[in-house]
């Protein structure tokens, strides 16, 4: 069963516009995937996007906004959650994507992602700003062929369980800006 949460009013218009401006002006480099290497490793066959570094001010603002909505996320999740990982600010240009993967909380994973319980994506771009680039959630063992293609409006948070297989479809036009992070198990 696919289980996800959409918070459509996660960002008000003024905050959304400010965050967009800060993120669009930020420098960045190739986004990495988690690996034994410190900071992860670049693997364009799996993930092609740009990780932006807009500064600590916006990072703290994202964490504060998550804290303000923690109750909604924990109610949906059905359990208390721990700390929030530092957010990743991402830009997907034409041709960029992220192949189907899981973010953590799976039994064969022995790295830090094993503590992740909830993944979330905050949309900074409106779907009219780009083509392709849908967040695609895959059904589990009971629905292996099911796919939910999500293109949330700007200012929307989409949360899903970290063990949910998901991907970002290839962006074919424009630029897709998002913020991604993870809520951890309690006590981590």
| Best CA proximity match to 104, nearest among 154, 51, 160 | 160
Residues in the chain where the model's pLDDT stays below 70 = 108-110, 112
36 lies in some domain = no
Note whether residue 182 is domain-resident: no
The reply to whether 133 falls in a domain is yes
CATH number at residue 100: 2.60.120.620
DSSP-derived letter for residue 131 is E
Q: Which residue has the tokens 């981590």?
A: 188
pLDDT for the residue numbered 109: 66
CA distance 78 to 22: 34
Beta strands in 80-156 (DSSP E): 88-92, 97-101, 116-123, 130-132, 135-138, 147-150
What pTM did the predictor assign? 0.95
The answer to whether residue 38 is domain-embedded is: no
**Coil, strand, or helix at residue 123?**
strand
Please tell me the total count of domains within the chain. Answer: 1
pLDDT tens digits, 116-167: 999 999 999 999 999 999 999 999 888 989 999 999 999 999 999 999 999 9
- 125-138 pLDDT, tens digit each: 999 999 999 999 99
Residue 56 structural domain? 4-25+45-177
């Amino acid at each position: 069963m696919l289980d996800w949460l959409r918070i459509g009013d996660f960002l008000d218009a003024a905050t959304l516009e400010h965050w967009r401006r800060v993120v669009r002006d930020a420098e960045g480099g190739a986004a990495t995937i988690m690996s034994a290497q410190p900071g992860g490793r670049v693997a364009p066959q799996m993930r092609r996007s740009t990780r932006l570094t807009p500064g600590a001010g916006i990072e703290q603002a994202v964490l504060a906004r998550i804290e303000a909505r923690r109750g909604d996320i924990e109610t949906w999740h059905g359990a208390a959650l721990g700390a929030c990982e530092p957010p990743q600010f991402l830009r997907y240009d034409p041709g960029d994507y992220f192949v189907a993967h899981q973010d953590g909380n799976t039994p064969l994973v022995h790295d830090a992602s094993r503590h992740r319980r909830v993944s979330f994506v905050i949309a900074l771009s409106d779907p009219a700003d780009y083509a392709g680039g849908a967040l695609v959630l895959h059904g589990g063992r009971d629905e292996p062929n099911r796919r939910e293609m999500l293109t949330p409006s700007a200012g929307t948070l989409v949360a899903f369980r970290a063990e949910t297989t998901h991907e970002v479809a290839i962006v074919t036009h424009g630029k897709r800006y998002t913020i991604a992070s993870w809520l951890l198990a309690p006590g981590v």
